[in-house]
């Protein structure tokens, strides 16, 4: 009897932690669905949910991309591309983040997150990426 009560109480406790995470993650994904027509054709992810944002550059794009490449690869990720477009894959504590970038103008770059760990929000990933451009 004690084991079944323990199992039921653990199930309830775990459920209480997972329900808000599921609701938050679903609303995050629903809010960021972008039409496949708007996406660059270089995507390497099969995930239909993506998040794009634009970053204004304060420095020359080639030096920024060089810095980004060394940071990402230094942490065990991969980075391919040039000053016009490319693909990156970074490692985090929660899992892999996959994305791509494309140059919009001489001082703007669009970044698209193609795949992310379930527990990380797009907003958190975006804010962390933007720190590299400050």
Kindly report the CATH number that applies to the domain delimited by 32-131: 3.30.310
Domain boundaries, the chain: 32-131
For residue range 28-81, what is the model confidence (pLDDT) as tens digits?
444 444 444 444 444 444 546 799 999 998 888 898 899 889 999 999 999 999
> Listing from the earlier edge strand, what are the strands of the sheet with 78-81?
51-56, 108-115, 96-105, 85-91, 78-81
CA-CA-CA-CA dihedral for 98, 36, 131, 26, to nearest 10: -80
Distance CA 111, CA 79 (A): 13
């Amino acid at each position: 009897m004690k084991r079944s009560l323990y199992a039921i109480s653990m199930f309830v406790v775990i459920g209480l932690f997972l329900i808000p995470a599921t609701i938050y993650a679903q609303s995050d994904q629903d809010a960021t669905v972008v039409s496949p027509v708007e996406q660059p054709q270089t995507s390497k992810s099969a995930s239909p949910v993506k998040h794009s944002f634009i970053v204004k550059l304060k420095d020359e794009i080639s030096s920024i991309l060089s810095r980004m490449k060394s940071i990402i690869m230094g942490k065990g990720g991969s980075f391919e591309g040039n000053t016009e477009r490319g693909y990156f894959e970074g490692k985090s504590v929660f899992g892999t983040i996959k994305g791509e970038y494309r140059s919009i103008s001489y001082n703007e770059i669009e970044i698209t997150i193609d795949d992310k760990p379930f527990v990380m929000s797009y907003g958190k990933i975006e804010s962390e990426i933007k720190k590299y451009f400050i």
